[in-house]
A and B are shown apart, each in its own frame.
Chain A
Amino acid sequence: MTYSFYLTTGNRRLTNHWKELLFNRKPAAPEHRHRATDGHRPTLTTSGTRGPTMAELAAGSLPLGDPAFNYQDEELTERLKRLYPAVNEEETPLPRSWSPKDKYSYIGLSQNNLRVHYKGHGKNHKDAASVRATHPIPAACGIYYFEVKIVSKGRDGYMGIGLSAQGVNMNRLPGWDKHSYGYHGDDGHSFCSSGTGQPYGPTFTTGDVIGCCVNLINNTCFYTKNGISLGVAFTDLPPNLYPTVGLQTPGEIVDANFGQQPFVFDIDDYMSEWRAKIHGMIARFPIGERLGEWQAVLQNMVSSYLVHHGYCATATAFARATETLIQEDQTSIKNRQRIQKLVLAGRVGEAIEATQQLYPNLLEHNPNLLFMLKCRQFVEMVNGTDSEVRCLTIRSPKSQDSYPGSPSLSPRHGASNTHLQPGGESPTCSNGVTPPINYSESNSSDSTKPHSANSTQETSDSEMEIEAEHYTNGVVEGSSARIMNGTYKHEEILQPDDNSIGNGVTADEGCINGKQLCGGNQAATERMIQFGRELQGLNEQLCREYGKNATHKKMLQDAFSLLAYSDPWNCPVGQQLEPTQRETLCSALNSAILESQNLPKQPPLMLALGQATDPGPG
């Protein structure tokens, strides 16, 4: 009957004190907040001086002539003017409410289209529903911000707050599809055009105010929770995104604040920092000796852009005509071009080999990049496109229809420009910059076209040169507008399918090629399994050297998950097999190579273009 003394009851050692505090406090806070703000919001409508749009009139939400409303609306207009002085709302109206037209049927709107509630069954992710704002974020904002208050987390709190381009499927939560980005309340993960999220921030629930800030100067986005910045969530955002929210279970209700009320987060302060930064940059900009050499600066910008994307012949021609020098030598440009081409064709193994050969140490110094490449290589093995498995399959000889999924090899067809236009929002920047010839190239990323004309393209690198230049131009710009156009098309194809992304494309391909794991070859499958083990080994080695890496783990998991399904192209992680997934990797590799040569990872022209699209104050 000994009665032993349990230790460490003392100060601060493994004490449960704080846990208790947490439990005592946590539920109280949201309740309190809930009560504090659950009062009736002032009724507001969406349009200010610009007059009602058709949609708003249709929704009948415009209490014209109400003096209280006019006052509120004036206040909104005032605030928006102050926040975004450079925006001309005649040309590019700001988002002022959710669009009753651009939403999934499970979404209900009220309170002048500011309140969103879920009215579907909410059984599973197929019941997800989103709504976009009435207008995309104008580039002239420079920095754009909106907040969403969680009025109720409903049954499960599967709420996503974020951004999406026009045309992205609304039967989904923001972030799940290409050109869609979201931060989800249930797990706190960020979703960057992918069905699987990355650990990002805390979870959020009833009473929380979540803000989303789009920085159009550097194309990033960060979120805030109750006025605290959570850090960058997305980079390389495309232009013309709409504020978007998505809900998935009954009872979920959120309210938007597009400027109707003061924000919880001090966005003015953030804007002032960027204003000061840019003023400082301009003030400190060294002109000195280069004064009056604007011609040379401009030529250099054009040349560096051409070189960056590997338009070798054009760059040479340009250099000859302007009597300037190219900063990178020809072979290097061609090398990069070759490597990019291999990645885009899904021949990642060869791309790695080529990189290691041409840029020794580059991948050693970028273990993350190497890992990404190897992961991709594995995926391509599953796809049957990587040369390590392809050479084992008799079915696809090298020169013939070899890369079925690759956008790079689809034929150029003049008609594709017409596909572009239905997308509607032809982004402003693509027109001025890209030579028309590239336009058609870029659209060839629509992989549903038959691949018959391709066989000759692959014979030798030298022959490829001209072709490759065009195609690189189109595809490497993963985040640029032109690709987006291509994707709109995907979406259009996808929508009727009402299934997860990827199905539409792969189903088509399946018809054409009768897709099988590793091209259906036993030896290839074995090689793939062996490679998977090596990959696992690499991951472990990296873990030992650099510590655990959640992104790697996730990547590996996703890649290996492909094997769990009888038809990888039609599975929840099947998206990975899409050829478009090669683009980001390709541009990352290109940037890494350029950086290793002490060249800018982004061409100055693109930077200038981004700045020019934002007219700035005045």
Chain B
Amino acid sequence: MACLLEAPLRISVLSEVTATSRHYVDRLFDPDPQKVLQGVIDMKNAVIGNNKQKANLIVLGAVPRLLYLLQQSSSSLELRTECSVVLGSLAMGTENNIKSLVDCHIIPALLQGLLCPDLIFIEACLRCLRTVFISPVTPVQLLYTDPTVIPHLMSLLSRSQRTQEYITQIFSHCCKTPEHQTVLFNHGAIQNIAPLLISPSYKVRMQALKCFSVLAYENTQVSMTLVNVLVDGELLSQVFVRMMQRDQPIEMQLTAAKCLTYMCRAGAIKTDDSCIVLKTLPCLVRMCSKEHLLEERVEGAETLAYLMEPDVELQRIASTTDHLVAMLADYFKYPSSVSAITDIKRLDHDLKHAHELRQAAFKLYASLGSNDEDIRKKITETENMMDRIVSGLSESSIKVRLAAVRCLHSLSRSVQQLRTSFHDHAVWKPLMKLLQNAPDEVLVMASSTLCNLLLEFSPSKEPILESGVIELLCSLTQSDSPALRVNGIWALMNMAFQADQKVKVEIVRCLGTEQLFRLLSDPDTNVLMKTLGLLRNLLSTRPHIDQIMSSHGKQIMQAVTLILEAEHSIEVKEQTLCILANIGDGNTAKDLIMTNDDMLQKIKYYMGHSNVKLQLAATFCISNLIWNEEDGSQERQDKLREMGFVDILHKLTQAPDSSLSDRAKTAMQQYLA
């Protein structure tokens, strides 16, 4: 006991207040149980709504004593109940209070208390547990450490409306990972909680609904089960639709819409189902309107963005619903100029939500514009949209930056926008800035956007090139993340397309042949494909081909051989054969193939391959080698005739595929001329 009191004595802020607080604690140690009970009740009355008093009592060590009394089977039920009430009251205070309580192992003690048969006591324990678990500082894992806890909580669901409310609230706050979802699912969460959706108590209905929203999130198993659940003879999805009715409280509408959204995204409900098109989507659009709370608008927009992300039809519908595109522009007007002057409280509130609002709006715009050109146009024409994106790219909040670059990426899929608004607003500048030292998730989006900005028809290509982007992209190709490697090499590929010799040389120099060949053996097929694409773009127009092949011919031929010999998809091999065809188009580079009999045999093999695409590419290569008007064509023709290519070409002129037979005929004409 002495040690309990010692710590607080060292605290200099001790005052008379602590003296009275200490009196409360002292009474917990009274030998007379009746007096202890009275002491606890007095303490209860003293702490209600008094954060300072709560902190004092915690500092003075009331918690371990209360927990001790709560756990003692010798304590009267009344005393144990009052103890948990006081603890619950302490938990209602600051986050520090919660931390202290959790440190004193309040959770196992309260969970233990649930085994008592007395309902009043159970309810008190649950109420306290609820308060502790809904705090962000409590580690949710504590609910799952003892495997008997979840089944026991499920069994308590039938006891009273209060147990239902508290338990479902605990579940909805403690279900954060797929594992948690599975644990709850396996213990019958769905069957146990579904009937609560029609409880007479609004609180119970609401908490049960929240439970389903966290259970169904990105969980196919749960979602698939949910669609078949009947509540009082009605399908669950219909129950959710009813909860979305416009006269229901906003919180309920929004949560029900989330449930249906998650079920839809998990594939349990089709995107053209009327409960999605005519109910969920319009409900979420409504949530974005100005008349709702900022939090609701953020959640509404984010959920809507998620709902329609993969479905262009939903995107189209949303884009015409209730002027959504224009409505979202309002998300950028916080804190409003009015709030600054008139109301400090409101300003504070606005400021707190300003970032959230902006990122939610960017996300929703990104989702809206991901497929449809008309919608993208509508978005870019929204007041100040491009300026907002540009300033969003350099905001301090990473969430906003990420959302802004997502939005930009979505809009960058439009040829028209690339040519116009993107160039007018010089979006490449902040984008390039963003690419320096950004976290990976931002980098992936930003580099992917950069790929589109480097397309040959994009007017931003030139200034980006001049800003020294090549080095940056080359460094991306060395990243551990496959997505970044793909984007890096993809951007380089786009850059090399129909580029000047200078640019091509710079790419090769900067990337280094070593890295280039490392990428050709990348485990990610996407990376390999884009690297081959880069090679192909580098090896175009005759002087470029000869120049590159004269310096790197040996390695390139080696790499080509390796790929053709290894197990690769048709697409990879086709791409490689196209590179060979380009090499065959060079003046001097031709010899690298002509002098390589092994390679010629490979080409021959692919001319007789069962896949038309490969035949076509191989024939292309041969056709380039025997082309008439070039020096030494006669010798090449002769050599290839000897090797039996003419027979194959002849056969191919009869090929059922017309492009292949045409190609073969063109090649044959070279011999005839």
Contact = CB atoms under 8 A, between A and B. Distances in A.
Interface of A: 1-8, 10, 12-15, 18-19, 21-22, 201-202, 222, 225, 227-232, 266, 269-270, 272-273, 275-276, 365, 546-550
A539 B387 CA distance: 18
Given A4-B498, A269-B245, A272-B246, A229 B321 contact: yes
Interface stretch (B377-385, B554-562, B643-651): B377-385
29 contacts: A1-B624, A2-B540, A2-B541, A2-B582, A3-B578, A3-B581, A3-B582, A5-B497, A5-B575, A7-B456, A7-B490, A7-B493, A8-B452, A8-B494, A10-B490, A22-B312, A201-B320, A228-B281, A228-B317, A229-B321, A229-B322, A231-B323, A232-B323, A266-B279, A276-B246, A546-B383, A546-B384, A547-B382, A549-B383
Interface string B442-468: 000000000110011000000000000
B278 interface: yes
Contacts of A19: 373
Nearest to A542: B383
Instruction: Give the most central of B322, B539, B575: most A CB within 10 Å.
Output: B322
A6 B627 CA distance: 24
A231 B322 contact: yes
A266 B370 contact: no
Nearest to A200: B323
Question: What's the dominant secondary structure at chain B's contact region?
Answer: helix
Nearest to A17: B371
B320 A230 contact: yes
Contacts of A15: 413
Contacts of B89: none
Contacts of A18: 312, 371-372
Given A5-B537, A7-B494, A228-B320, A273 B383 contact: no
Contact of A7 (B247, B381, B497, B541): B497
B278 A228 contact: yes
Interface string B362-406: 000000001111000000011111010000000000000000000
Contact of A548 (B383, B455, B624): B383
A610 B217 CA distance: 46
A191 B451 CA distance: 43
A532 to B, nearest CB: 24
Nearest to A222: B322
Nearest to B493: A7
Contacts of B384: 546-547
A6 B533 CA distance: 9
B545 interface: yes
B585 interface: yes
Nearest to B313: A25
A275 B247 contact: yes
A207 to B, nearest CB: 16
Interface string B518-546: 00000000100000010011011110010
B620 interface: yes
Nearest to B456: A7
Nearest to B388: A547
Given A228-B281, A230-B322, A550-B381, 6 more contacts: A1-B624, A2-B582, A3-B581, A230-B321, A231-B321, A269-B245
B413 A14 contact: yes
Interface in B456-501: 456, 490, 493-494, 497-498
A276 B245 CA distance: 11
Contacts of A273: 246-247
B14 interface: no
A12 B245 CA distance: 36
B8 interface: no
Contact of B246 (A10, A13, A270, A547): A270
Most A C-beta atoms less than 10 A away, residue of B371, B490, B493, B578: B371
A4 B497 contact: yes
B282 interface: yes
Contacts of A230: 320-323
Contacts of A229: 282, 321-322
A354 B498 CA distance: 62
B278 A227 contact: yes
Contact of A4 (B387, B415, B536, B542): B536
B221 to A, nearest CB: 27
Contacts of B413: 12-15
Given A14-B413, A546-B384, A272 B247 contact: yes
B81 interface: no
B589 to A, nearest CB: 11
Contact of A2 (B245, B279, B545): B545
A15 B321 CA distance: 25
A13 B383 CA distance: 26
B497 A3 contact: no
A549 B383 CA distance: 7
B623 interface: yes
A456 B536 CA distance: 87
B197 to A, nearest CB: 19
Q: Please list the 4 inter-chain residue pairs (A to B) with the smallest Cβ-Cβ separation, ordered nearest first.
A: A273-B246, A547-B383, A547-B384, A276-B247
Contacts of B337: 365
A533 B624 CA distance: 62
Contacts of A22: 312, 372
Contacts of A228: 277-278, 281-282, 317, 320-321
Contacts of A269: 245-247
A6 to B, nearest CB: 8
- Most chain B CB atoms below 10 A, which of A2, A3, A8, A269: A2
Interface string B395-423: 00000000000000000011100000000
Contacts of B539: 2
Contacts of A13: 413, 451-452
B620 A3 contact: yes
B238 to A, nearest CB: 14
Nearest to B274: A227
Nearest to B537: A5
B582 A14 contact: no
Q: Which of B323, B373, B381, B537 has the most CB of A within 10 A?
A: B323
A528 to B, nearest CB: 29
A30 to B, nearest CB: 14
Nearest to A4: B540
Contacts of A232: 323
Contacts of B415: 14
B275 to A, nearest CB: 12
B283 to A, nearest CB: 10
Interface string B627-640: 10000000000000
A102 B233 CA distance: 51
Nearest to A264: B278
Contacts of B414: 14
B58 to A, nearest CB: 39
Nearest to A11: B526
Interface string B312-336: 1000010011110001000000000
Contacts of A1: 585, 623-624, 627
Contacts of A546: 383-384
Question: Which of A6, A18, A227 has most B Cβ within 10 Å?
Answer: A18
Interface in B603-634: 620, 623-624, 627
A18 to B, nearest CB: 4
A203 to B, nearest CB: 10
A518 B384 CA distance: 36
A273 B624 CA distance: 73
Given A18-B312, A18-B372, A5 B533 contact: yes
A401 B323 CA distance: 46
Contacts of B493: 7
Nearest to B586: A2
B385 A547 contact: yes
A12 B490 CA distance: 14
A270 B247 CA distance: 8
A546 B581 CA distance: 53
Nearest to B337: A365
Contacts of A225: 320
Nearest to A550: B381
